[in-house]
Amino acid sequence: MGVLETAPLSGRDDRPGAPLHVAIIMDGNGRWATARGLPRTEGHRRGADAVRRTVEAACRLRLGTLTLYAFSSDNWKRPADEVSTLMRLFRHYLRAETAGCVKNDIRLSIVGRRDRLPRAVRVAIAAAERATASCRRLTLRLAVDYSARTTILRAAALAKPAELDDPASFRACLARAQHDPAPVPDVDLLVRTGGEKRLSDFLLWECAYAELVFTDRMWPDFGEEDLERALADFHQRERRFGRVLSV
C-alpha cells in the first residue's frame, strides 16, 4: 500500500461490513397530494407514515445511520400555512415516536439550525434527544431547517486551526455546527424520491463519495421494498474512492 493510501481522506468508513449511512431526500409529498385532488399538506401527513415505515425498514436492514431531509432552510419560502403544518407535524412526530425509538434502541437527533424553529418544536426536539441519547442500534437524524452550505460555513467559523488540517478532523466541526452529538461517517448511499435529480443543498460535504439513487416514487408511497431496491443497486456498484481496483 502506497504512503498516500494510508492517509485518512475523509470521514468515510469503507471497511467491508461497516454499518451503512443512508441519506434520503424525501421529495414529492406535494405532487402526490395534488395528483389526488388533495391539499399539499395531506401529502406531508402521508409522508410522515412513510418515515415510520422507512425507519422500521432501516432497523431490519441493519443500517448504522439514516439521515432524512425533512425541511430545508429554503423551505421557509413556502406559504405560511404549509410551513406551520410542517412544524406541527414535526412536533407531533417527535412526541409520538420517542417511546418507540427508545424501545427499538434508535437514537434520534435533529440536524440543522434551531434558532428559527417554533419554541414548541425546540422543546420536543430536546425531549426526544434526551430520551434516546443512550440508544445505539440506529442513529436517526432528521434534517430540519438544514442547509449544507450554511453548516459548512458555520463549521469553518467554529473550527480550531488543527481541525482544518484534513477532512476527517473537520467532521467534528460539522457536528458542532449542526447540533450532532458526535461526528457521523460520510454518506454511503443517497436516495432522492420524487423524480428530481438534484441535491437541493443536502449534505454536500458528507456526500463526497456517496452513491446516488434517484427514484420516481413519490415520498408518501415509499416503503421497505424501495429501500431494499436502492440498497441492492448500491451493492452492485464498485466504489473506488479514486483508486484503481482492477486492471
Residues that bind ligand IPE (CB under 6 A): 25-31, 69-72, 75, 86, 194, 196, 198, 200
Residue closest to ligand IPE when measured from CB atoms: 30
Degrees to nearest 5, angle at CA 58 with 14 and 135: 85
Q: Which of residues 8 and 195 has its CB atom nearest to ligand IPE in the complex?
A: 195
Catalytic site residue from 13, 75, 104, 221: 75
CB atoms within 10 A of CB 99: 12
- Residue 97 touches Mg ion, criterion: CB under 5 A: no
DSSP codes joined into one string, 64-86: SEEEEEEEEGGGGGS-HHHHHHH
* 212 and 190 Cβ atoms separated by less than 8 Å: yes
Q: Which of residues 27 and 42 has its CB atom nearest to Mg ion in the complex?
A: 27
- Residue 145 touches Mg ion, criterion: CB under 5 A: no
Cell numbers that stand for 229 in this block: 431496491
Q: What number of chain residues touch Mg ion (CB under 5 A)?
A: 1
Q: How far apart are CA 195 and CA 198, in angstroms?
A: 9
The burial class, CB within 10 Å (0-12 / 13-18 / 19+), for 47 is buried
The single residue among 27, 180, 206, 211 that binds Mg ion, judged by CB under 5 A, is: 27
List the single partner that 48 binds among Mg ion, ligand IPE, none, CB under 5 to 8 Å by kind: none
Task: Note if 201 is an active site residue.
Answer: no
Q: How far apart are CA 225 and CA 46, in angstroms?
A: 17
Least Å from the CB of residue 214 to ligand IPE: 12
- Residue 70 touches Mg ion, criterion: CB under 5 A: no
List the single partner that 205 binds among Mg ion, ligand IPE, none, CB under 5 to 8 Å by kind: none
Task: Note if 166 is an active site residue.
Answer: no
Catalytic residue numbers, as ranges: 27, 75
